[in-house]
Amino acid sequence: MKSMRRILAYLRYFPVPITFNVLFNLLHILCSLGAYVLIIPFVELMFGLNGVPETEPELALNQKQLVDWAFWHLYQYKAAHGLWGCLLIVAGGYVGCSLLSNFFRFMAQVFLGIVRNKLIERLRNDIYHKVTILPVAFFNNKRRGDIMSRMSNDIADMEWCVAVLQSLVKEPINVIVFACMLVFVSWRLFVLFLVVLPLGVWMIARIGKRLKSSSQRGQNELGRLSAILEESLASLKAVKSFGREDDREKRFANANSRYSRTMVKVARSRELSSPLSEILGTLALVFILIVGGWQVIDGSIQPSVFIFFVIIFARIIPPIQAIVRAYNTLLKSSASAERFLEILDADEVIVEKPNATVLKGFDDRIEFHDVSFSYKGAVESDLVLSHINLTVPKGKTIAIVGPSGAGKTTLVDLLPRFYDCTDGFISVDGHPIRDLNINSLRAQFGLVSQNCILFNDTVANNIAFGAEGYTAEAIREAARVAHADEFIDLLPQGYDTPIGDRGLNLSGGQRQRLSIARAVLRDTPILLLDEATSALDAESERAVQQGLDALMQGRTSIVIAHRLSTIRHADLIVVLDHGRIVEQGTHDELLSLGGLYKKLVDMQSFA
């Protein structure tokens, strides 16, 4: 329940609607109680079960004297206005209390709706914000489908929890108010109800423990189910081309079956509590009827008052059942809350220092100072990069080459702090990047990777992604520089054409040129080009390379190259192998060395 307490702590942000909700719930309960109290004079007028006091009793806060005082005035009014006049007054009071009770309940629900929707809105915003600031490394070992399940299904499950806030707020007040009335009427009869209460609490606690365990398994199974679905949709072409539809369907069916079996257990545990509380309430009511009947016979309690006690007691059972259901819902939702909070509490790792320096521009150089890096956080073992020392002067083009797995992409990812160095440090214009404001640091970099990151939006909005205050003319100019305008003008709606999910309505070369146009529009001083042409055919590569050449004019560029012919004119070529710099120099200098670079060039020339 600790996790649910943290979720419910969000309620502190909504003091006004919560206050009104509690107020209207209290008024609803009091009006309901008033309606039930009017049952006593109604029964007394119809059946005359009590004798009329000869003189007006003193008004005192005592059950017998208060009832006698009320009965004396009731019969005085009856004598003056007749039975029907008296019944009309009582009936009118009952209807008025009922109307007010339902009005106050409606108002309480209105304010509860405000709280519920605002709370879920805040939860969604917080988890989305957390996902966007978590380091890339956090998602390396996570399945996207499971994370999406936590952000959608788990929050939806917690929304059901918020829906029972009405019960958590209103029903305890209801029980307290009605219990006080029962104690006031006859504390001896009320004690009988308390006899069976500990047994009920113990049984409900046992059921709740099983419910939480089953719910946690259910949410984990749902996360796996979502992950399988997301993977199948993302790799649909591969599934079809390898003829693995049956295998994926079997995986999904097995996961779906496990989830279904778990949720059957959840439903069984959840529904068991209601009949148990009903049985316990019935047993208590039977005891009260037997003992209360003896008290009516021996004259220690008036018959109409006893009838009122039984009605109020029967009325107190549904709120107790509602509290039990709310408690079970909380236990079920606590499993979702734990999964939700696991992301919310994840270590950000990439942490910005307090009062970090804002980098206003790039004026001199980037330097790697004995940089080492491991995804596992080790310093000497499992290093992806080892003791990298490198200087990137402003305005120069630096190419990073090497065999697969050499650490090229990792080296570039360290610059915008997608990851932090395990050892050593990187500086920009003499400022260690750990000391810089992260947003101001990343504002200096424009990224074009081999995996184009496009959104299900229009061409214009994809180009303008990451730029603010853009104009249509600026977008067109960026597209022209990237040599993208020639195909955009042929699209059905031009720059307003939707490009589909991840830009799949476009070819690979077209998607890449949109990425370049985006980098042109952002106009950053430093470019990070991660094998931007490696997956393209010769014609598309030529068009994309023209766009890249235009983009690199006057900028500092760090280029990860797969096709070495595209970087032969780089100012400096850095050769990585097993995470270390083994060679660096110009194209001609490296060829003359006859080392790894020449070997890579010869292999591509032969190919």
Q: For 277-319, what is each residue's pLDDT tens digit?
A: 666 666 666 777 777 777 777 777 777 667 777 777 777 777 7
Question: What pLDDT band is residue 531 in, cutting at 50, 70 and 90?
Answer: confident
How many C-beta neighbours within 10 Å does residue 569 have? 10
Higher pLDDT, 458 or 237: 458
DSSP 3-66: HHHHHHGGGGG-HHHHHHHHHHHHHHHHHHHHHHHTHHHHHHHHH--SPPPSSPPPP-SSHHHH
**Would you tell me which CATH number, out of the four given (3.40.50.720, 3.30.1330.10, 3.40.50.1860, 3.40.50.300), belongs to the domain 453-521?**
3.40.50.300
Q: How much of the chain exceeds pLDDT 90, in percent?
A: 8
Contacts of 343 (CB under 8 A, 6+ apart): 127, 130, 131, 134, 147, 150, 151
More confident residue, 552 or 571: 571
Q: What is the mean pLDDT of the chain?
A: 77
**pLDDT of 367 higher than 90:** yes
Please determine, for residue 607, whether its predicted confidence score (pLDDT) is greater than 50: no
Q: What is the model's pLDDT at position 371?
A: 92
Q: Provide Rg for the chain, Cα atoms.
A: 37
CATH class of 355-444+524-607: alpha beta
User: Rounded to whole angstroms, how far apart are CA atoms 371 and 368?
Assistant: 6
CA distances for 23 relative to 26, 98, 133, 190, angstroms: 5, 17, 40, 27
Query: What CA–CA distance (Å, rounded) separates 63 from 69?
Result: 10
pLDDT at 415 over 80: yes
Q: Cα(412)–Cα(427) distance, rounded to whole angstroms?
A: 13
pLDDT of 427 strictly over 80: yes
CB 27 within 8 A of CB 100: yes
Give the residue among 504, 414, 411 at the shortest CA–CA distance from 462: 504
Residue 474 CB partners (closer than 8 Å, separation 6+): 467, 521
What would the mean pLDDT of 260-274 be, rounded to a whole number? 72
Instruction: List the chain domain ranges.
Output: 2-344, 355-444+524-607, 453-521
For residues 516 and 499, what is the distance between their CA atoms, to the nearest angstrom? Answer: 16
| Residue 482, CB-side half-sphere exposure with 13 Å CA sphere | 28
Q: Do domains 355-444+524-607 and 453-521 have the same CATH topology?
A: yes
Give the pair of three-digit tokens for residue 327.
């408690």
Residue 375 pLDDT:
80
Query: Per-residue pLDDT for 389 more than 90?
Result: yes
Q: Helix crossing, 15-37 with 303-344: angle to 10°?
A: 160
Q: Given pLDDT bands bounded at 50, 70 and 90, which one contains residue 420?
A: confident
Report the pLDDT averaged over residues 252-277: 75
- What backbone torsions phi and psi does residue 50 show, to the nearest 5 degrees? -115, 150
pLDDT value of position 216? 65
Q: How many C-alpha atoms does 227 have within 13 Å on its Cβ side? A: 15
Query: Regarding the domain with residue range 2-344, which homologous superfamily does it belong to in the CATH classification?
Result: ABC transporter type 1, transmembrane domain (1.20.1560.10)
What are residue 214's phi and psi, to 5 degrees? -65, -40
Is residue 599 scored above 70 in pLDDT? Answer: yes
Q: How far is CA 176 from CA 8, 308, 317, 416, in A?
A: 22, 17, 12, 59
Which residues are bridge partners to 577 per DSSP? 580
253 token code pair: 């069916």
pLDDT tens track for 29-60 = 888 877 767 666 666 555 555 556 666 666 66
Taking alpha carbons only, the member of 503, 527, 529 closest to residue 514 is: 503
How many Cα atoms within 13 Å fall on the side-chain side of residue 549? 11
Does residue 63 register a pLDDT over 60?
Answer: no
- The tokens for 261 are 């079996």
Instruction: Examine the pLDDT at 189 and tell me if it is beyond 80.
Output: no
